[in-house]
Amino acid sequence: MTGRLAEASLRTVVSELSTRLGFAFEVTVPGVQVAALLHTGMLLKRLEVSEEIDRVVLPGWCQGDLSDLEQHFGRPFERGPKNLYDLPEYFGLNQRKPVVLDDYNIEIVAEINHATRLSTDDLVREALTMAGDGADVIDVGCIPGESSMRVAEIVAALRAENLRVSIDSFDRAEVEQAVGAGAELILSCNQTNLDWVSGLGAEVVAIPDVPDDLASLDRTIQQLDRVGARFRVDPIIEPIGMGFTRSLQRYMDVRSRYPDVAMMMGTGNITEMTEVDSAGVNMILAAICEELKIHSILTTQVINWCRTSVAELDSARRVLSHAVKAGVVPKHLDASLVMLRDGRLRPSSAENLQRLAEALTDSNFRIFAEQDGLHLMNRRGHWAGEDAFSVFASAMADSTSSVDHGHAFYLGYEMARAELARHLGKQYSQDEEMNWGLLGNWNASSAVHDHRPDDVNEDN
């Protein structure tokens, strides 16, 4: 069942489904133009169900109690998807078996930079946000050359929130404060501070004295082993252009030399210092860690393009754990890191758009974002172009378009969304939220929709 405007498209989709699945079907249009206007009360008056029908699928937008229809017609009624192009999945085609992504191997240590300059309230608020995004340990990032006496207070405040804490400092006073207040991990340890840091009882991160000096790292590992200190090893990843590939080789070399040692990678040197959206970068770095059994990552999210790094790594570690364990590629397991583009688009053909434009009988505007451009249409015309301004200008210039101020605001907002979706390669559906992955669905169009001009009555 659908409205008049979607009838042709629905017949095309269901015809293919019936061939593949072997069922007979009827498409019925109970006197409405738009499927979103259907209500069970209306269907009780208008719908006819022939004898041979044993299952009735309504549009997902249909409002009302389906039990009234089932009691009246004596057949099962169900709401299908809101978008007719999702019917193949609804009927069980192209479905993928859901994957449980609860398991992971990588611990996320999230650093709060310049922590000692923040108020305790602001720092705790940021730490709780990071923990909510997936951080396992909150790292108190201190400032070289500024020996703060607030470290104990900061660590105590974080521990009071049941947060695990690490301290990032080479300053002895700061580190001793932190460990005394409950910090469990010290970043970092090399030949310069080994003599005192190894005796504090907390786990330490062993690093080379300078990134290329693996011999110094070997000495530190041996000395930590000798005194029975707990440690993990970070060979230090270097920024792109300053030895990035060579530093990746160091991680492989250390893993080869020490197959069972715990390791860490600090990814901020790449995500913070490479001007690119961080999600894909975090996925690749986490993949390297997963395959090398590097089971902790230190991340920051200071600069805007990587401000969701903790959440990205949380999603990545779950997908990658499953992929490596199951021996599958990390595809079609979870789409939360597909934020800028959508995995699949549902384009409308030029023929369907033209057929729809010719069938419209009301003044409400429909907007479509297609590969060939933006389309705006109502019963008075069909305007198309490459960008929202040109399409809107064409509609305004057409004396038949009847664009009032309320429609102008609504069209400007929706056409801007459509243009954005077209440029990014996202699916645009008028008045519906776009899918932004782990960023969440943010869209104020629902508020616009509540107040948009509407001259559609029950019959059109």
- In eight-state DSSP terms, residue 421 is H
pLDDT at 458 over 90: no
pLDDT at 452: 45
Position of tokens 């709401």? 79
Is the pLDDT confidence value at 456 over 60?
no
pLDDT band at 438 (very low <50, low <70, confident <90, very high): confident
In this predicted model, what pLDDT tens digit does every residue of 189-200 receive, in sequence order? Answer: 999 999 999 999
188 close to 204: Cβ distance less than 8 angstroms: yes
Q: What is the model's pLDDT at position 399?
A: 66
59-112 residue pLDDT tens = 988 888 999 999 999 999 999 988 888 888 889 887 777 789 999 999 999 999
Number of H helices and E strands in the chain, helices first, is 17, 13
Asked if pLDDT for residue 385 goes beyond 80, the answer is yes
Omega before 188 cis (within 30°)? yes
pLDDT in tens, 241-285: 999 999 999 999 999 999 999 999 999 999 999 999 999 999 999
pLDDT higher than 70, residue 305: yes
**Contact yes or no for 13/84 (Cβ under 8 A):** yes
Tokens standing for 104? Answer: 């992971």
pLDDT at 210 > cutoff 90: yes
Lateral strand order in the sheet of 264-266: 231-233, 203-206, 185-189, 164-168, 137-141, 107-112, 296-299, 264-266
| Residue owning tokens 């489904």 | 17
| Mean local confidence (pLDDT), 227-236 | 97
Return the pLDDT at 447: 40
Read off the tokens for 229. 């200190």
Of the chain, the end-to-end C-alpha distance in Å amounts to 16
Q: In the chain, what are the domain boundaries?
A: 4-90, 107-326, 350-451
449 pLDDT band, cuts 50/70/90, is very low
pLDDT at residue 6 is higher than 70: yes
| Whether the predicted pLDDT of 205 surpasses 80 | yes
pLDDT in tens, 317-356: 999 999 999 999 999 899 999 998 888 888 888 888 888 8
Q: Residue 214 class from Cβ within 10 Å (0-12 exposed, 13-18 middle, 19+ buried)? A: middle
Say if residue 302's pLDDT is above 60: yes
pLDDT at 314: 97
Q: What is the DSSP letter of 237?
A: -
Q: Which residues of 39-70 are buried (b: 16+ CB within 10 A; e: fewer)?
A: ebebbeeebebeeeeeebbbbbbbeeebeebe
What does pLDDT average to over the chain? Answer: 90
Q: Parallel, antiparallel, or unpaired for β 137-141 and 107-112? A: parallel
Q: Tell me the pLDDT band of 39, cut-offs 50, 70 and 90.
A: confident
Q: Which long-range contacts (CB under 8 A, 24 or more apart) does 248-257 make?
A: 248/288, 250/211, 250/212, 250/214, 251/288, 251/292, 251/294, 252/292, 253/214, 254/214, 254/217, 255/292, 255/293, 255/294, 257/218
Per-residue pLDDT, averaged over 142-168, amounts to: 96
Chain-centroid distance of CA 279 in Å reads: 9
Report the SS3 class of residue 395.
helix
Encoded amino acid at 433, one letter: E
Q: What was the pLDDT predicted at 307?
A: 94
Q: Domain 107-326 is of which CATH architecture?
A: Alpha-Beta Barrel (3.20)
> What are the CA-CA distances from residue 158 to residues 71, 107, 121, 124, 150 (Å)?
59, 18, 10, 6, 13
